[in-house]
Structure 1
Amino acid sequence: MAESHTTLTFNVQRLAPELIVPAKPTPQELKPLSDNDDLGSLRFHIPVVHLYHENPKMRNKNPANVIREALAKVLVFYYPLAGRLKEGPTRKLMVDCTG
């Protein structure tokens, strides 16, 4: 039986990057990464796009706003993910948690 292929087409409007900060104040500190997380062989980026099926409950909501608000809330508990990577004098990576 022959496979049928459907082409999915959609428009994307790219806007300026936006910084999402934690919804509540977080500690201000410098956190060094563990030696395992600081391996030079792990310093690369893999671009990925995830696609999900539509949820009927979310039909009238702006997905960008939902993601923005949810990310701000979760960053309160995982605040180092909102920090900036810094490289120390010995190339040791640290996360600058700016609160």
Structure 2
Amino acid sequence: MTVLMAIAARRLAVIYNPTAGQRRLRFFRVVLGHLEAMGLVVELVETRGPGHATEIARSLATGAGRADMVVAAGGDGTINEIINGLAGGNLPLG
């Protein structure tokens, strides 16, 4: 995600897998703090199991105005699910 995309997107939905990257939790929190310091509204959406990230992303893609961009925070599986959920929609993925 470029800084310019983040600035254009005022509302970010961050879909994250709580079991992925436990060693990087501090870094995750620092990044969220920077995004909020830039004036962005960040909504954290936690996945609960296999397939849930797809459901969340699909809901965001069809829900008018809830988010301007979806940010994936997880491993390859989480990212793949989010891509599949956003397919055919207009929300960018960061």
Please give the TM-score of this superposition, normalised by the length of structure 2.
0.22
The higher relative CO (CA closer than 8 Å, separation ≥ 6) is in 1
With normalisation by structure 1, the TM-score equals 0.21
- Structure having the higher Rg: 1
Q: Which has the higher helix share?
A: 2
